[in-house]
Structure 1
């Protein structure tokens, strides 16, 4: 089961690296569509800075999950991964209520399922 958890958490890490790429480097039309935002809003300089800042957080979260999978083992690995999945789920819930409902299905639900599997096995 630990290999399965490693694969799931790695997929979540890759997802967050992809979100970082969208938030930091995608063109305005792609950002507007991906994040359900009006194009005029995405083109504002302050929005570009805020999205890039958010991108750094998502990217570093992805890197942290990968690092944890590579550096920790046993109970420490399970504890840290559980905390990271809980963190992602809570943040996704906030985003679901404040930004767009699809955040729950794209980020929150995979993290919740992975968290439950970590806790069960």
Structure 2
């Protein structure tokens, strides 16, 4: 599919980037407001840990980063829409950022992060180069 000269990237790239943004908003909301048992299962942690106040605070803090990252991606799309070259550059940088954070999370927390966060960002990054 050929890139849209107005947007600077093709529709498939834009859709995958939007999926990445929505995913991070969802993850953020889950980390901030999710139930202890579901968070424990999702992050391969004992429920006795996720039910503790310090763990809830740490997850919520992590969640606000993910939530704001998703919102930032949408803000970049809307604010940089008239500047397609800048939009693509910023989106590439954000996908690289997500990939680095996902690799760290996959190493330190749970391997699921590699599939859930790294893979979509990697696909988006690859599409942003075509």
Q: How do 1:30-49 residues align onto structure 2 when only pairs under 5 Å count?
A: 30-49=38-57
- Is residue 39 of structure 2 the alignment partner of residue 16 of structure 1? no
* Greater gyration radius: 2
1:76 aligns with 2:92: no
What is the aligned-residue RMSD (CA, Å)?
A: 0.9
**Alignment map for 1:1-121 (pairs within 5 Å):** 1=3, 2-72=10-80, 73-119=83-129, 121=130
Q: Give the TM-score normalised by the residue count of structure 2.
A: 0.89
Structure 1: give runs of 5+ residues left out of the alignment. Answer: none
Moved over 2 A (4+): none
Taking the aligned partners of 2:100 and 2:126, their CA distance within structure 1 comes to: 14
Q: Say which structure is richer in helix.
A: 1
